[in-house]
Amino acid sequence: MNPDNSTLRLRRILVPLDASAHSRAALEAAIQLAEAMGAEISGLYVEDTDLLELCRYPFAREIGMFPTGCRRLETTDLERDFRVQAETIHRMMAMLAEKSAIHWSFMVRRGRVATEILSLATSTDLIVMGRMGRSMAGAPLGSTASRLIENGRGMALLLKEGLRLRAPVLTLYTGSALSRRAVEMAGRLARAAGGAMEVLIPASDSAQWESLRDAVLSATAADPDMEGVRIVFRRIQTNVAAALVTILLAEYRQPIVLPVDAIDGDAEAIRRLLNRIDNPVLLVQ
Amino acid sequence: MTVQRLPATAVYHACDIEALSFDTTSQIAPLESLSNAMGQPRAVDSLQFGTGMRRTGFNIFVLGPSGTGRHSLVRQILGEKAKSSPTPSDWCYVNNFENPGQPKALELPPGQGKAMAADMKKMITEVRSTLKASFESEAYQNRIQSVQQTFKEQQQEAFKEVSEKAKAKQLVLIRTPQGLALAPMKADGEIMPPDEFQQLPEVQRKEIEEKIEEIEEESRRMFQKIPQWQKEIGEKLEALNIEVAKYAITPLIDAMRAKYGQTQKISAHMDAVEKDILANLPLLMTSGEHGGEPPSLKQGVLGAEASEMASPALRRYRVNPVVDHSQQTGAPVVFEDNPTYANLVGKVEHMSQMGVLMTDFNLVKAGALHRANGGALVLDARKVLTHPGAWEGLKRALKSEQIKIESLAEMFSLLSTVMLEPEPIPLEVKVVMIGSAYIYYLLQDYDPEFEQLFKIAADFDVEMPRDENSENLYARLLRTIIERERLLHFDRGAVGRIIEESARMAGDAERLSTKIRDISDLMVEADVWARKDALATVGRSHVQQAVDARIFRSDRVRQRIQEEIRRGTLLIDVEGGMAGQVNGLAVIQLGRFTFGWPHRITARIQMGKGELIDIERESKLGGPLHSKGVLILSGFLGARYAREHPLALKASLVFEQSYGMVEGDSASSTELYALLSAISGIPIQQGLAVTGSVNQFGQIQAIGGVNEKIEGFFDVCRNKGLNGRQGVLIPAANVKHLMLRADVVAAIREERFHVYPVTTVDEGMTLLTGMPAGEPDEHHRYPEDTVNGQIQLKLTAMAEKMKKFSQPAPQGGPSESGQ
């Protein structure tokens, strides 16, 4: 993906899927986007080799949820479970995708989940996935999502179960190249959701605020894909992370397009931020 | 002791039109009520007493023949009573939420039932929209979210705890497709590959395995808690829903309570409605206008009502106003024309849903008893008795003083589908059954409950006394009918003629018929004739025309009989004399038309042992009354003529050319005359016909149908030619019944035809034979030149002969032995 490319186009959206409710939310959002932007969707199911590896332990056992109890973890059982899950997901995708006239495909790969997703990330414009997969880390942010942030490449939309893409779409403009991209992306999302875009501008004084705002206005005016999108500006304090937490906790359903460079610090800082909010987040990095 | 022929004035009691106080009926006032003049003081009194009596069992049975104005009178008296009575309550059926099979009945002040039903319908619509608004509100959504969030956090917390514990023990918790698994962790946090694990020393491996077991146990315990949490969360959500819903609907239900909750029962029902709405929120919110069915099916002929059938959630709160008195002032008077069981006690209808018959309290339909409750119900007794179950159902309701809707089909196990048992409604009604006397006495004899339930009998008479006063009153009755039927006015002569015809209908010159319907029909017909003549008033001739036309329409059979007598097919002599043969008179009724039919009655005798053979009886064509009449004859005969010796004859009696049943004793005097003539050999004048029954002392007794009988013989004589000597002998007791046809009266006036009132057999024999009957001396002997003397001689001679026959033959008689 080339951040300098002046017009932003989404051609391929990757949706890594497992059987969780979060990933279904991700798929629905991806379809919504693909429809609005004419993109193609690739569904991906990864047969986790870590799990297969586990079977080789002499004590490998699975603690079942329904019904509660332990059973011996066997490679053959696990492989069958994978097939069943892949089949279920394929069906779900077919059902959802065929309601709209988009191009879609579904693939099954074997490997480590994060590795497989990252390897495909290079050939996609956007990754849409559930924030929390089936990971048991206990954290609001799933392990694969964390790896994506750490990896720091490509755009990724992270969604939580039950929250759909809806307007207004929030974004952040600092004047950086990434944040310009974020504005473009937010505009498209807002259009897809059929509503307004709200641009948050961290500024220490009015001069900075005005210049940044004018920059957004002139950039959007020149962009044909943003026609008809209403723009609202809001000035926020320069400590972006803290400001975002305050705003987003209040407006927990609003999706936000977040240029990573707006957050000071490393991947860990972004993860901390994401752990505190529930909103769908589109990371621009 | 000669019998005088009756003068023309005695055979037709004409109405004295000079005594009528008007020229045409327009000058008199109609009766303010039909009751006064209809000659039914007894019935009026009973009805008034019965309607005023507010106690169980004082229901009324109106008995009398149809056409006597029973319905009009009942309608009038009940109507008067109802006007001054209070309007009874409305009744509604509502759902019984605890037991939907037994709908509850609610009593409301008159006129409020329908209003409550409409308000309830509106309220449910409002409840739905209010609920929808509440549950879609942001505030509610946020609360739901927060409750659900708690659950998720609880879960996450638990996972986190286990996960951390695992981490502390150098283990990784991994999600598998069906649950969790544990693996040892390397120093960098990654899963230790199994190969690496195998290379660990035995002790360490054992340690790791123990740790894993520990954590597994922990995880299992955690999983076991999840269902409990889910249950708790469900309860919390439900409590929240109820709280929100209650807040939304309570004001609406309170408004209904304030408007209708006068009685404890209604407010209890409103409580139940509130409780049920709260318990069935999802049902109420999801059902409704956008049901699965296509609109065309729902909005057919039944319209909006039918569309609601599709949503049981809405139907369950509705109010079904079965008894509505919103248009009523005073108490109701209900005439049920079709008193089937279901029409009386009400019914529960069914509707087909997906091929299954379903029902609920909305399909409870009121019966006549419901509608008449608090007032009066008028029924036709015969119809009630002929509809299956109707009489029993009516009695049960009256006895228990409540209306309980049960289905007949259910009673007989003919239908097996969902049935309802609606709560019984208390009943206070005056039932008036109208029927014939026959039905009344049948019920009284065979139904022990009848007497308890119908304590008042209103007995209608078919006739009323005729005098100057009543004739004037009758004229006012005619005026009332004129108003009712919108007829032309009748002049004095026409009124007189109707009064005369009414007496003829009553079959009695001293009585008037109270069969209002017949009189009214006659007047309508007379009106038609007057209008044909383009006259403004109906005259006597029009009434006569109507009477004649009526007879003409129905006298085909009579005409035919007369014709056959004239042609000699049916043998009747009207001239000359003949022994043992007398003209008798029978009466035939065809529908409403009655006419006389002369019959030849003959007697033949031979020697015998005092037997009297009634051929009709032997051939099983004689009824018991007829046989009784004949048996009386032998009593008379023996007592009068055979005191000293046995009756040594055998006689046979017959109605000649009679091919059907002969019943009644009105020909017994005729038969006696034939018999006496046969014994004595004295011919009977065939120009005379006879009617009257006779007793064992030879007295002639009254009979029925005297007018028709005389007219029947008159027609025969006229057809064959009147000779001035022909006539009819009638019992003297029947003279007061004479209301003969105008042409007969004219012939009598001109002495071309005669009617003789006879009191004894001797009078009759004298007239028939032209010979004195004769009086007995102290030895019971009659002079020889009298009828009785001749009879006595003949009978004595027969007895003597009989005696000779019964004596043994003389010794060594001149028969065979001499040769």
pLDDT tens track for A216-229 = 888 888 877 777 78
Range of the domain at A83: 12-159
Buried b (16+ CB within 10 A) or exposed e, A185-210: bbbbbbbbbeeebbbbbbbeeeeebe
Q: With an 8 Å Cβ cutoff, are A73 and B176 in contact?
A: yes
User: What per-residue confidence (pLDDT) applies to B604?
Assistant: 95
Q: Who contacts A8 (Cβ-Cβ below 8 Å, separation ≥6)?
A: A181, A184, A185, A188, A225
Q: Are A125 and A187 found together in one domain?
A: no
Q: With an 8 Å Cβ cutoff, are B175 and A135 in contact?
A: yes
Residues pairing with B222 in the sheet? none
Q: What angle do CA B17, B18, B23 make, to 5 degrees?
A: 75
Q: Are A152 and A60 found together in one domain?
A: yes
In which element (H, E) is residue B485 found? Answer: helix B468-485
Residues in chain A with CB shorter than 8 Å from the CB of B189 are: none
Q: Are A122 and A94 found together in one domain?
A: yes
* CA B497 to chain CA mean position, Å: 35
In which element (H, E) is residue A62 found? Answer: strand A61-64
Within 10 angstroms of residue B407's Cβ, the number of other Cβ atoms is 21
Q: With an 8 Å Cβ cutoff, are A64 and B175 in contact?
A: no
Q: With an 8 Å Cβ cutoff, are B212 and A59 in contact?
A: yes
Q: Give CA–CA dist B315/B100, Å, rounded.
A: 12
* CATH class belonging to B17-37+463-554: mainly alpha
Q: Are A36 and A150 found together in one domain?
A: yes
* CA A255 to chain CA mean position, Å: 10
Question: What are B163's two structure tokens?
Answer: 């996960």
Q: Are A56 and A85 found together in one domain?
A: yes
DSSP 8-state code for residue A97: H
Q: Are A230 and A142 found together in one domain?
A: no
Mean pLDDT by 10 residues, chain B (819 residues): 86 88 88 64 85 86 86 86 90 91 91 91 88 85 82 79 83 77 78 82 86 84 81 87 88 90 88 89 66 42 48 82 90 93 90 79 92 93 93 93 85 71 92 93 92 90 87 88 92 93 92 89 95 94 94 91 93 93 92 91 91 89 89 89 86 91 89 94 95 94 94 95 94 95 94 95 94 88 91 91 79 47
Question: What are B4's two structure tokens?
Answer: 């005088």
Best to test chain B binding among A63, A83, A278 (most B CBs inside 10 Å): A63
The answer to whether B727 and B754 are in contact (CB under 8 A) is: yes
Q: Is A95 at the interface with chain B, CB within 8 A?
A: no
Q: Give CA–CA dist B176/B192, Å, rounded.
A: 17
Residue A108 falls inside a structural domain: yes
Best to test chain A binding among B176, B190, B191 (most A CBs inside 10 Å): B176
The answer to whether B687 and B574 are in contact (CB under 8 A) is: yes
Q: Left (φ > 0), alpha (ψ -120 to 50) or beta: where does B343 sit?
A: alpha
User: What per-residue confidence (pLDDT) applies to B304?
Assistant: 46
Q: With an 8 Å Cβ cutoff, are B179 and A135 in contact?
A: no
Where helices occur in chain A by DSSP H, the ranges are 21-37, 49-54, 75-97, 113-121, 143-151, 177-193, 206-222, 240-250, 267-276
Contacts by A149-153 with C-beta closer than 8 Å and gap 24+? Answer: A149/A260, A149/A267, A149/A270, A149/A271, A149/A274, A149/A283, A150/A267, A151/A118, A151/A121, A152/A260, A152/A267, A152/A285, A153/A118, A153/A121, A153/A122, A153/A285
Q: Give CA–CA dist B681/B579, Å, rounded.
A: 6
Supply the angle between the helices B138-168 and B112-136 in degrees, to the nearest 10. 40
Of B190, B155, B186, give the one whose Cα is nearest residue B174.
B190
Q: With an 8 Å Cβ cutoff, are A50 and B163 in contact?
A: no
Percent pLDDT > 70 in chain A is: 88
Residues pairing with B573 in the sheet? none
Task: Domain ranges for chain B, please list them.
Answer: 17-37+463-554, 40-87+328-460, 135-243, 559-804
Q: What angle do CA B152, B158, B164 make, to 5 degrees?
A: 130
**Mind telling me how many Å the CA of A250 is from chain B's nearest CA?**
12
**Mind telling me how many Å the CA of B135 is from chain A's nearest CA?**
17
Comparing CB atoms, the residue among A56, A68, A140 nearest residue B224 is: A68
Q: Give CA–CA dist A232/B282, Å, rounded.
A: 40
The answer to whether B589 and B711 are in contact (CB under 8 A) is: no
User: What per-residue confidence (pLDDT) applies to A133?
Assistant: 53
The answer to whether B658 and B638 are in contact (CB under 8 A) is: no
User: What per-residue confidence (pLDDT) applies to B372?
Assistant: 93
The answer to whether B397 and B356 are in contact (CB under 8 A) is: no
DSSP 8-state code for residue B613: E
* CATH class belonging to B40-87+328-460: alpha beta
Q: With an 8 Å Cβ cutoff, are A53 and B164 in contact?
A: no
Domain count along chain A: 2
Pick the last residue of a domain from A128, A159, A190: A159
> Rounded to 5 degrees, what are φ and ψ at B412?
-100, 15
Residue A7 falls inside a structural domain: no
Q: Is A54 at the interface with chain B, CB within 8 A?
A: yes
Residue A228 falls inside a structural domain: yes
Of B610, B612, B710, B618, give the one whose Cα is nearest residue B668.
B612
Q: Give CA–CA dist B384/B389, Å, rounded.
A: 9
CATH number at residue A22: 3.40.50.620
User: What per-residue confidence (pLDDT) applies to B295?
Assistant: 41
Q: Are A129 and A195 found together in one domain?
A: no
| The CATH number, out of the four listed (3.30.230.10, 3.40.50.970, 3.40.190.10, 3.40.140.10), of the domain defined by the range B559-804 | 3.30.230.10
Residue A3 falls inside a structural domain: no
Pick the last residue of a domain from A159, A189, A206: A159
The answer to whether B661 and B587 are in contact (CB under 8 A) is: no
Q: Are A143 and A273 found together in one domain?
A: no
Cis bond before residue B65 (omega within 30° of 0): no
Q: Give CA–CA dist B288/B129, Å, rounded.
A: 11
Low-confidence ranges of chain A (pLDDT < 70): 1-8, 19, 65-69, 132-142, 152, 161-164, 252, 265
Q: Is A51 at the interface with chain B, CB within 8 A?
A: yes
Name the residue in chain A with its Cα closest to that of B190. A50
Pick the last residue of a domain from A106, A137, A159: A159
Relative to beta strand B60-63, strand B456-459 is: parallel
Q: Are A182 and A130 found together in one domain?
A: no
Of B413, B445, B450, B414, give the one whose Cα is nearest residue B431.
B450
Q: Are A22 and A82 found together in one domain?
A: yes
Name the residue in chain B with its Cα closest to that of A86. B177
Give the up-direction half-sphere exposure of residue A149: CA atoms within 13 A in the CB hemisphere. Answer: 28
User: What per-residue confidence (pLDDT) applies to A67?
Assistant: 62
User: What per-residue confidence (pLDDT) applies to B756?
Assistant: 96
Residue A204 falls inside a structural domain: yes
Q: Are A39 and A142 found together in one domain?
A: yes
Name the residue in chain B with its Cα closest to that of A64. B179
Q: Who contacts B171 (Cβ-Cβ below 8 Å, separation ≥6)?
A: B182, B183, B184, B185, B208, B211, B212, B215
Q: With an 8 Å Cβ cutoff, are B181 and A53 in contact?
A: no
Residues in chain B with CB shorter than 8 Å from the CB of A61 are: 181-182, 212, 216
Q: Are A149 and A235 found together in one domain?
A: no
